[in-house]
Structure 1
Amino acid sequence: MESMQRFDTAASRKNGIASRTLVCRMAGAVGALGTFGVVGILGMAGAGWPGHAAAQAAGAEGSNFIYLVRPGDTLIGLAERFMDRPGRWRELQVLNKVEDPYRLPPGMRLRIPLAHIPVIDGTARVVFVTGQARADGRALQAGVELGEGARIETGAGATVTMELGDGSRVTLPPASTIEVRRLRAFSRTGLTDAVIGIGQGEVDSRVAPRGTGVGRFEIHTPSLVTGVRGTRFRVGTEDGASQSAVLEGKVQARSRRGQQAAVRAGYGISVSSAGMLAQPVTLLPAPVLAPLPRPLLGSHAVVSWSPVAHAVGYRVVVARDAVQTELLSSQTVSGAQATLQDLPEGDLYVGVSALDARQLGGAGTVMPFTVRLNPPAPFTLVPERDGTAYGETVTFTWAEVASAAQYELEVAADADFGQGLVQARDAAPMASQALAPGRWWWRVRSLDATGQPGPWGEPVAFAVEPSPPQPRLEDDGGDTLRIAWPATAAAAGTVQAYRLQMASDDGFTHIVSEVRSETSEARLPRPGSGIYFVRVAREGKPGVPPHFSAPQRIEVMQYVRDSQGQAIGAGGRLLNRGN
């Protein structure tokens, strides 16, 4: 470039304006080969092709594109590069009050009217969708191409990310509506010329991530225009008021009343519903997150953090990428923790940022975590939820999982599995465990061939009670049968009641007699001679079916009786009529 400058100066002295114009065109052509760095954003320019300088695109202000002059730039070269006619360099000279069109001070902010920069149709492609989102009334899915004028809406729990031709990404959280008002690109430069209007909610923008610089990228709300000269910022609107938080780079904010302010990274600005632009304020610091389990076994988790002073709430997002453009979920909470739900398997990122009273969110803390959902947890079978197991030993059964090599069982006296914990591991989908009477919880998970576990299944609450008392027959030959059983201690202040049944079949489909007793015995009318079955159960809570003992087989006889109706015995035994 130095040799060009020297040649340009020499040529101008010898050959006049014609030779100078030729050299400026050569310089402009060389500059046109580079890519465009972002100025005032990350302090670095985009990478150009070897041997060529990168142009300095710095976004737009109002109706002008802003270009930062580099050594060797001339008005004629820049007009030929950016404008529809090279001869418009004179308009640039007047607009920018330039004395010598061939000597531009490096770093000068040169304004170029957007109206005179040729444009071509731009592109926007939907790269990520979750939940119910629509464009122009039609359901959205990844891969859809959007054009100028497209109207995008996200429902509750839905997010959308679209990518422009220069790699810029615009992410809509839930309950947001935008319109793509302009979608072009500056011809011969590849710079974006986009204007997006927010009708409701907010958008999060990551502009020119490839370091190509920004042509025009503006976010409009009813009360605020935010022009980008930065790479990461967020704009939202509600009830006519708007706010913008700058996370990286710098933006130019303009209210509908014409007030303007430059807002740099780490600051936010707001506009009232009346259109009054407030002074930029410092964004709240990022919260310090408590680590999540590594890996996270399950699709749900609770993330917590240290409270941030002056925060009125927190924005919590889960994304597939570290830069948080592909949102799986977004929520706002008032406390210092949030529940993450329906997490998919894989490497994910949770981001938390503090919100101030104006709903301006600062830079968030982003924490990576990994979700492991396989092998899946088995379906539990027995004991059932809120069921009852009887006896000193409880048998647990669950469904088999094809990808499981083993299973791990946990039983505890509390739902958090911290008290009275017992564990067992087996290749079979069942296990037995001795447990005392009381309330218990159990859960099971699968292990793969390497011994790595999947998530636990849902805890199942159940009760353990002693086995039902076993009835016995005491036949004194009278008109009734006396059935007795071991007594069971009742809770203080209560009476333990029992239910006794006698049937002609062991399935108790033909019940001969049934009585209720508050003692450990009962009498049943003597039936005809034959084989019968009896069983007894402790009565429990109202509405809960009783759990009966195993059927006991008894034989009932008719005895020889005297004139008073008493059974007659001989040789120490009662005389059966059938003998």
Structure 2
Amino acid sequence: MKFQNFLKLNSVCPTKRWEDTSTFFLLTPHLIFQNILYVFLFFFFYLSPILSESKHQKIQPPEGDGITILVEKGQTLSIISKTYLDDPRKWKELLKSNQIDNPNLIIPGMKLWIPKSLGKKPLADIQRYTGKTEVLKISQKQTDWSGASVGEGLYAKDEVRTFKESEAQFLLLSGSRFEITENSHIIMEKGKSDTDPDELYLRRGRIRSIIQRKPSSNQRMFLLRTEAAVSEVKGTDFITEVDGSGNTTLSCYEGIVAVSAQNVTVNVGSGFATFVEKGKPPLKPFALPDPPKPKDE
């Protein structure tokens, strides 16, 4: 019941004026209670929403190393924690970092700070680059490409592209590293679980992958996808190239790479290569040519 309706209802039965002073004093407690009730209803219907709104406006994300996000409609604390912290159960830590005691104060449009120490770890870091190299941070819902920076973290769905006479080197969380040459485009991909291997998608260009071998010998170490094939490795040094038609060439220099396409898998050993035409199975591995020898003076 709104406050105006309450007043209207009570005006139907106005308080009777009493000439008798003793009777007037007998009604005084009733009048006091009625006034207190009016004050309570006024606070509940008018002041409470205003005070609540002012609390929301006072919440400001603290300064520090991390990222600031805007809460979207339909997002819960669990969803936000899953998206940015990789764990829906970390919502209490998220509130603590933002100095918020009441989870009900989280509303669409407000800012939340995700500290770097609390946030999920990047899949890879940019170690170095030369020439024009750009990054598209899909993980932060960016829609425009921006210049790369050394030490910048890359998360799932983030993209990197190089232009003419440029290259970039990356270090994966597992300790493996890879390099892309000019006119290349890669996309970071995360496995479905923590035990799944690191993943990269090479849209075009050339990439050299040097995979760190783990003590557990049979565990998949790395997964490289292209439009034509999937390469699965366990500690090796290999180069993958994707041409303008989406065809893939893989050359192995150390270890073994299992290349799959169209339900056919071939194992490419050290010193061998394979070619995968888009929409067809990989060719039988063939020997790589010997490296060119220096000319005699």
* Structure 1 equivalent of residue 98 of structure 2: none
> Would you identify which runs of 4 or more consecutive aligned residues in structure 1 move more than 2 Å?
120-123, 183-187, 209-216
**Offset of 1:276 from its aligned partner?**
3.1
1:253 aligns with 2:248: no
Task: State whether residues 123 and 188 of structure 2, in contact with CA within 8 Å, keep that contact through their aligned partners in structure 1.
Answer: no
Unaligned runs of 5+ in 2: 1-119, 137-144
**Offset of 1:142 from its aligned partner?**
1.1
Q: Secondary structure at the match of 1:178?
A: strand
Partners of 2:247 and 2:174 in 1: CA distance? 30
**For 1:153-552, what aligned pairs fall within 5 Å after superposition?**
153-182=161-190, 186=194, 193-208=197-212, 215-238=220-243, 239-255=245-261, 257-289=262-294
* Structure 2 equivalent of residue 138 of structure 1: 146
One-letter code aligned to 2:201: G
One-letter code aligned to 1:251: V
Task: State whether residues 237 and 252 of structure 2, in contact with CA within 8 Å, keep that contact through their aligned partners in structure 1.
Answer: yes
Q: Secondary structure at the match of 2:164?
A: coil
Partners of 2:158 and 2:191 in 1: CA distance? 10
Task: State whether residues 221 and 237 of structure 1, in contact with CA within 8 Å, keep that contact through their aligned partners in structure 2.
Answer: yes
Between the aligned residues of both structures, percent identity stands at 18
Higher Cα Rg, which structure = 1
**For 1:41-120, what aligned pairs fall within 5 Å after superposition?**
none
Task: State whether residues 159 and 187 of structure 2, in contact with CA within 8 Å, keep that contact through their aligned partners in structure 1.
Answer: yes
Task: State whether residues 226 and 253 of structure 1, in contact with CA within 8 Å, keep that contact through their aligned partners in structure 2.
Answer: yes
Task: State whether residues 123 and 183 of structure 1, in contact with CA within 8 Å, keep that contact through their aligned partners in structure 2.
Answer: no
Task: State whether residues 231 and 249 of structure 1, in contact with CA within 8 Å, keep that contact through their aligned partners in structure 2.
Answer: yes
**Offset of 1:247 from its aligned partner?**
0.6
Partners of 2:191 and 2:157 in 1: CA distance? 8
Task: State whether residues 171 and 205 of structure 1, in contact with CA within 8 Å, keep that contact through their aligned partners in structure 2.
Answer: yes
Q: Compared with structure 1, are the counterparts of its residues 229 and 216 closer, same or farther at alpha carbon in structure 2 (3 Å cutoff)? A: closer
Q: Secondary structure at the match of 2:235?
A: coil
**Offset of 1:181 from its aligned partner?**
1.8
Partners of 2:249 and 2:220 in 1: CA distance? 23
The structure in which a higher percent of residues are strand is 1
Partners of 1:220 and 1:265 in 2: CA distance? 20
* Structure 2 equivalent of residue 101 of structure 1: none
Partners of 2:193 and 2:164 in 1: CA distance? 33
**Offset of 1:236 from its aligned partner?**
1.1
Partners of 2:227 and 2:161 in 1: CA distance? 17
1:128 aligns with 2:136: no
* Structure 1 equivalent of residue 7 of structure 2: none
Partners of 2:192 and 2:177 in 1: CA distance? 15
Q: Secondary structure at the match of 1:125?
A: strand
Task: State whether residues 199 and 225 of structure 2, in contact with CA within 8 Å, keep that contact through their aligned partners in structure 1.
Answer: yes
**Offset of 1:225 from its aligned partner?**
0.6
* Structure 2 equivalent of residue 150 of structure 1: 158
Task: State whether residues 220 and 232 of structure 2, in contact with CA within 8 Å, keep that contact through their aligned partners in structure 1.
Answer: no
**Offset of 1:249 from its aligned partner?**
0.2
Unaligned runs of 5+ in 1: 1-119, 291-304, 307-579
Partners of 2:234 and 2:221 in 1: CA distance? 9
One-letter code aligned to 2:151: G
Task: State whether residues 121 and 185 of structure 1, in contact with CA within 8 Å, keep that contact through their aligned partners in structure 2.
Answer: no
One-letter code aligned to 1:123: L
Structure of greater relative contact order (alpha carbons < 8 Å, 6+ residues apart): 2
Partners of 2:179 and 2:191 in 1: CA distance? 16
Partners of 1:209 and 1:153 in 2: CA distance? 27
What is the TM-score with the length of structure 2 in the denominator? 0.52
* Structure 2 equivalent of residue 423 of structure 1: none
Q: Secondary structure at the match of 1:199?
A: strand
Q: Deviations over 1:394-428 (max 9, x none)?
A: xxxxxxxxxxxxxxxxxxxxxxxxxxxxxxxxxxx
What is the TM-score with the length of structure 1 in the denominator? 0.27
One-letter code aligned to 1:161: Q
Partners of 1:194 and 1:149 in 2: CA distance? 13
One-letter code aligned to 1:154: T
Partners of 2:283 and 2:224 in 1: CA distance? 18
**Offset of 1:273 from its aligned partner?**
2.6
One-letter code aligned to 2:134: R
